[in-house]
Structure 1
Amino acid sequence: MYRISEVSKLVGLSIPTIRYYEKLGLIDSPTKDARGYKEYNENILQYLSFIVNLKDTDMSLEQIKNYVDAYKINDYPKCKTILRDHAGKIQDELAKRQQILEKVQYKVAHFSDLKGGGK
């Protein structure tokens, strides 16, 4: 079991963000120990890590909420559709970035060929 401060460090989210995600219903409410401190289990930690991955790839909180809601009611076809569509967007973005990277690398090579540019 983890305290919120540990979860924050492990997943790279601020404590207020974790509380906000809990309020939105993106994660289940953690249990409380005898002193009233919230205890986050491994499942919540893994779920938060997945949410961070989705956010890092520009999935909106609304779409994440749609995914979570579908998952909670075992609507796996909807989950699959949401993730498949998002994966397509990530793939398109990667292709675009690859083209940009190739242009930048071309320019770097060009300047390296110029007198004094290879320093």
Structure 2
Amino acid sequence: MEKELTIQEIAKLTGLSVHTLRYYERIGLLDHVARTNSGYRKYSDADRAWIEFLNRLRATGMTIRKMQQFADLRRKGSATIHERRVILEEHQAEVRMRLLELQSNLESIEHKIVHYKELEEDELATK
């Protein structure tokens, strides 16, 4: 049986704030979340999985606007599978480019560290 989670529980599990969860719902990243009879949100396992995917998209630099586009297509169902795949492939290419840039920057930093170690060794040798 699926456990329904409160907004506080889903916030803790996903690392998003309650405010962010409400914002995501308001701007259409989250479908309208089911509610209890007293009006409290109750998140399903499917909601949690979707929020975790959104977190991954954000963590990899996808814009909110692009995430909204993806969410809108998802809501339209299987007829949009191709369009969603294309969005993800474009994002994948952007992430790969950023990774290459980061790798190049890291290598530059590593070379500079080696240079400073050599300078320190030279400094110690002259004392």
Q: Is the TM-score greater than 0.5?
A: yes
Aligned pairs for 1:55-74 (under 5 A) are 55-73=58-76, 74=78
Paired residue for 1:93? 98
1:27 is aligned to 2:43? no
1:43 is aligned to 2:43? no
**How far apart are residue 35 of structure 1 and its match?**
3.2
TM-score, L = length of structure 1? 0.91
Q: CA RMSD in A?
A: 1.4
**How far apart are residue 116 of structure 1 and its match?**
4.8
Gaps of 5+ in 1: none
Where does structure 1 differ by over 6 angstroms across 4 or more consecutive aligned residues? none
- When the two structures are aligned, how many residues end up with a matched partner? 117
Give me the whole-angstrom Cα distance separating, in 2, the residues matched to 1:103 and 1:8.
38
Gaps of 5+ in 2: 123-127
TM-score, L = length of structure 2? 0.86
Give me the whole-angstrom Cα distance separating, in 2, the residues matched to 1:66 and 1:37.
27
Larger Rg: 2
Give me the whole-angstrom Cα distance separating, in 2, the residues matched to 1:62 and 1:32.
26
